[in-house]
Chains A and B, each alone.
Chain A
Amino acid sequence: KNQVEQSPQSLIILEGKNCTLQCNYTVSPFSNLRWYKQDTGRGPVSLTIMTFSENTKSNGRYTATLDADTKQSSLHITASQLSDSASYICVVTRRTGNQFYFGTGTSLTVIP
Chain B
Amino acid sequence: NAGVTQTPKFQVLKTGQSMTLQCAQDMNHNSMYWYRQDPGMGLRLIYYSASEGTTDKGEVPNGYNVSRLNKREFSLRLESAAPSQTSVYFCASSEAVGAGPGPQHFGDGTRLSIL
Contact = CB atoms under 8 A, between A and B. Distances in A.
A105 B42 contact: yes
B40 A43 contact: no
Interface residues of B, number: 18
Interface in B31-68: 40-45
B98 to A, nearest CB: 9
Interface of A (DSSP majority class) = strand
Contacts, number: 43
Given A42-B108, A43-B4, A34 B103 contact: yes
Interface in A44-59: 44-46, 49
Contact of B103 (A31, A49, A98): A49
A4 B42 contact: yes
Nearest to B4: A43
A73 to B, nearest CB: 15
A22 interface: no
A31 B100 contact: yes
A32 B108 CA distance: 24
B108 A41 contact: yes
A97 to B, nearest CB: 10
Nearest to B35: A102
B74 interface: no
Contact of A104 (B40, B45, B100): B40
Interface of B: 4, 40-45, 90, 92, 100-101, 103-109
